Amino acid sequence: RFLPDKAIDTIDEAAARAGLKRYIPSPELKELEENQMSLDKEKEDAIRNENYTLAGEIKHKQEANTARIKEIRKKMEETRQNTSVKVTGDDVADIIARWTKIPVQKLKEEETERLRKLEEILHKRVVGQEEAVKAVSKAVRRGRAGLKDPGRPIGSFLFLGPTGVGKTE
């Protein structure tokens, strides 16, 4: 696939995923439905044991439970109809990451700031190794930006020099 088909497919899939998120049932609804199933079993056991008064009480609980389930589903449906689906850049990035198998994560601002000042930070620990610091910083930035082969390491470095220049850092 090529542009613009690729772009349209990406947005289409992102919109479909965003739309499906609206249909995730609430935890309360799941709990009520599980409760309904356990009440069914209890009622069947009560009938099997010929305890009809208990079965009647359970039936009343089930009716209240069913009413609450219907109420929650109605509210969820109203909410779904009143809200529109919004596709964000993160949704599109997730689709691209899934297709390309390259993690497309937004760098946190603090991490971006650290990457920007990486050479400065390294110079505090590594003495007199200007070229080495630049090479390592460049490789780390490239790796964090996703501009490398995912099957290969960020870099392979061999540090040489006299004692005390920061090779082990």
Instruction: Among 17-21, 56-60, 88-92, name the most confident range.
Output: 56-60
Share of the chain above pLDDT 90, in %: 33
Q: Which residues of 51-78 are buried (b: 16+ CB within 10 A; e: fewer)?
A: eeeebeebeeebeeeeeebeebeeebee
- Backbone dihedral region of 84: left (phi > 0), alpha (psi from -120 to 50 degrees) or beta? beta
Residue 17 pLDDT > 80: yes
N residues, the chain: 169
Residue 157 and residue 135 in contact, taking contact as beta carbons nearer than 8 Å = yes
The span from the CA of 154 to the CA of 113, in Å, is 20
Q: pLDDT digits over 107-127, tens only?
A: 445 667 788 888 988 888 887
The span from the CA of 116 to the CA of 137, in Å, is 9
DSSP code, position 167: T
C-alpha distance from residue 22 to each of 27, 110, 165 (Å): 14, 32, 57
The span from the CA of 99 to the CA of 88, in Å, is 17
Token pair for residue 26?
């609430």
Range with lowest mean pLDDT among 14-28, 92-106, 114-128: 92-106
Q: How far is CA 145 from its chain centroid? A: 19
Q: pLDDT digits over 22-78, tens only?
A: 778 788 999 999 999 999 999 999 999 999 999 999 999 999 999 999 999 999 888
E strand intervals along 12-159: none
Average pLDDT of the chain, as a whole number: 85
The predicted structure's pLDDT at residue 37: 95
- Backbone dihedral region of 79: left (phi > 0), alpha (psi from -120 to 50 degrees) or beta? alpha
Range with lowest mean pLDDT among 24-28, 102-106, 117-121, 138-142: 102-106
The predicted structure's pLDDT at residue 109: 55
Query: What value does the mean pLDDT take over residues 145-157?
Result: 80
The predicted structure's pLDDT at residue 107: 43
Residue 140 and residue 98 in contact, taking contact as beta carbons nearer than 8 Å = no
